[in-house]
Structure 1
């Protein structure tokens, strides 16, 4: 049985969420009420993200230059990607963010070859930014990008799935993964619901776990097609 690894981008690979950076810089606090409603479940992510991104009117070149100057990535992500490649574990970034922003960051880091699935971006006639939902089926139509669809498809093809995330859009796929690594608000959410996970703060810790006796045992069970630890 083979393994497929999926990871969130914003706040997981990056030290700061690129969308939060852009909204704070160009909108101020005007987007926080929308985000609070998404967090408490009174507004879908599908609508909430569209409303938030619709507040942006910043020139694209200026906005992406700011992201590239101010948003670093976890230094352990590139070694983790190499770790996965060495074991023939396909690694895919699944993001609820904006593909062109993420592409720019990955290219800056020399990681442009890592497969990425995310939402697109368009601009209205008045210069406002518009979300273009990811081109994947949406199970519940609650998100612009249904991350769980990717995990379900991999599992349906007989693969074991690993998921890595930190926030609201990672809650649903967290419940579909065979092995979950969580940080930030996702870790707190999982703990409150007794969802099995491994808490982490940096990708080096994930790689170290796989090199530990527990991780080695998981890899050995995966090779035998065994059950999850």
Structure 2
């Protein structure tokens, strides 16, 4: 429920007041996320194990997280943590709060770190050193999509399935570093009242608000059940969402099916947000000037 870095900075580094000033510099664009983060991590003066003690006393795990993670494991849904923080810190936290066995089932995509034994030097080793973000989560999301698609193709070959199934990418976030990833997700969950939700509201990005991981689990269960109905049973892995596949087979990120914005539909949240936002702001006459090719299998009797 708290940011691991913030807990360390407040207790053993620049302090709460300075940290909030630095956070504001990121928000206003005065300084880059990477630049400010290096100053924050560089302010720490505490051995790694001693720093973990304050996290162990302060951190709280979302009450719905254990059940949610079990739900993902039981349904063969790959689960990853994509963080702008330091991987050694996150691994230590997961091992302590979840147990090493459960934590071993979670892949962490984050920055490495160089920490001296006396704790006087903490230096991030950025995952994307040439980016102002240090770790560009949008890039990590794109890489995850490629990997998931490759695994899907392999699975399709094994079951001799002709149509390509593209896994649905779900992203759960709350803060500033999650903003780049927000536009890469097929389904986006944003914790209520925090920066990611504010960003989505400001930029008209479709998202699903949540208070606890229990909310997310309930919604994903609905998606899985709908998938199973559309695919005729449990023969197709739940993480392969035919609804998302349908859009992607006939479009790319630069060519979302335009007729969708003209008709009310629950499918809107699965469109790429920036494309939907741009199209939704255009008047209907302008959209209809261009011919629209719709494959027959995508046209329902109601639309005809």
Q: Which residue of 2 aligns with 1:78?
A: 66
Deviation at 1:220, TM superposition (A): 5.8
Q: Does 1:112 align with 2:130?
A: no
Deviation at 1:101, TM superposition (A): 1.4
Matches within 5 A, 1:1-229: 15-26=1-12, 27-28=14-15, 29-108=17-96, 109-110=98-99, 111-113=102-104, 114-123=106-115, 127-134=120-127, 137=128, 141-156=131-146, 157=149, 158-183=166-191, 184-212=194-222, 216-217=225-226, 222-224=240-242, 225-227=245-247, 228=267, 229=270
What TM-score, normalized to structure 1?
A: 0.83
Structure in which a larger fraction of residues adopt helix: 2
> Helix, strand or coil for the counterpart of 1:117?
strand
Provide the rounded CA distance (Å) in 1 between the counterparts of 2:9 and 2:180. 24
Equivalent pairs, count: 211
Q: Deviations over 1:47-95 (max 9, x none)?
A: 1111111111122221111111221111211221221222222111001
Provide the rounded CA distance (Å) in 2 between the counterparts of 1:80 and 1:49. 30
Matched-pair contact (CA < 8 Å) for 2:34–2:132: yes
Residues 187/55 of structure 1: CA separation in 2 closer, same or farther (3 Å cut): same
Relative contact order, higher structure (CA 8 A, sep 6+): 1
Structure 1, gaps ≥5 residues long: 1-14
Which of structures 1 and 2 has the bigger CA Rg?
Answer: 2
Aligned CA-pair RMSD? 2.2
Q: Deviations over 1:178-205 (max 9, x none)?
A: 1100012101110111100000111000
Structure in which a larger fraction of residues adopt strand: 1
Provide the rounded CA distance (Å) in 1 between the counterparts of 2:143 and 2:11. 37
> Helix, strand or coil for the counterpart of 2:31?
coil
